[in-house]
């Protein structure tokens, strides 16, 4: 995001002299957010506190600087990270060994309906073999050699080294 320096040509209650980031710029208007010690002012929900001015405002000075919002940190337990790392490859070849991922006696991953369906046909701690996978835009179905004519959500399975 481009950083500008704004200096109000007159006293104002809604403007502060200083650095702003441009959040949106149209043909006629600039929507910007004040940088308070280098940090954009935001509401509690994280939205920028925007203020607007016309593009012709003489108080706007282009700085050549840019502001890059920090990347949010995602944290997870080591156990969850390990489960994700062991999740089966959605492009697994025929014959790849897999089993249900379990946590505290329940299937780890998948929707409730997926889990109920899996428990009708599969047993925890049993090794199954991939027949094929059907990779879709938001989920991957896995077909198992041991369970004909049934598909299961791939996120419920972990790779097993045989």
Any idea where the domains of the chain sit in the sequence?
A: 2-66, 78-159
Which candidate, 24, 27, 23, 20, places its Cα nearest to that of 3? Answer: 20
Q: pLDDT tens digits for 31-48?
A: 888 888 888 888 888 888
| CA of residue 10 relative to chain centroid, distance | 43
How far apart (Å, rounded) are the C-alpha atoms in residues 23 and 71?
17
Q: pLDDT tens digits for 108-126?
A: 888 999 999 999 999 999 9
pTM metric for this prediction: 0.51
> What per-residue confidence (pLDDT) applies to 127?
96
Q: pLDDT tens digits for 63-83?
A: 988 888 887 777 777 766 766
> What per-residue confidence (pLDDT) applies to 155?
92
How far apart (Å, rounded) are the C-alpha atoms in residues 6 and 57?
9
Beta-strand relationship, 140-144 and 128-135:
antiparallel
pLDDT over threshold 90, residue 87: no
Task: Classify residue 159 by burial, with Cβ atoms within 10 Å: 0-12, 13-18, 19+.
Answer: middle
How far apart (Å, rounded) are the C-alpha atoms in residues 83 and 148?
27
Name the more confident of 9 and 35: 35
How far apart (Å, rounded) are the C-alpha atoms in residues 136 and 138?
6
How far apart (Å, rounded) are the C-alpha atoms in residues 162 and 160?
6
Name the more confident of 21 and 83: 21
> What per-residue confidence (pLDDT) applies to 14?
57
């Amino acid at each position: 995001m481009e950083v500008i320096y704004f200096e109000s040509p007159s006293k104002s209650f809604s403007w502060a002299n200083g650095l702003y980031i441009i959040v949106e710029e149209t043909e006629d208007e600039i929507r910007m957010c004040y940088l308070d010690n280098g940090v954009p002012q935001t509401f509690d929900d994280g939205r920028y506190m925007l203020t607007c001015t016309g593009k012709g405002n003489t108080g706007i000075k282009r700085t050549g600087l840019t502001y890059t919002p920090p990347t949010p940190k995602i944290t997870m337990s080591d156990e969850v990270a390990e489960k994700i790392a062991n999740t089966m490859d959605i492009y697994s070849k025929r014959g790849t060994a897999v089993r249900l991922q379990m946590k505290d006696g329940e299937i780890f991953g998948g929707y409730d309906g997926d889990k109920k369906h899996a428990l009708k046909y599969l047993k925890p701690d049993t090794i199954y073999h991939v027949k094929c996978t059907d990779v879709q835009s938001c989920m991957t179905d896995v077909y198992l050699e041991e369970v004909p004519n049934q598909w299961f959500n791939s996120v419920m399975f972990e790779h097993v080294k045989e």
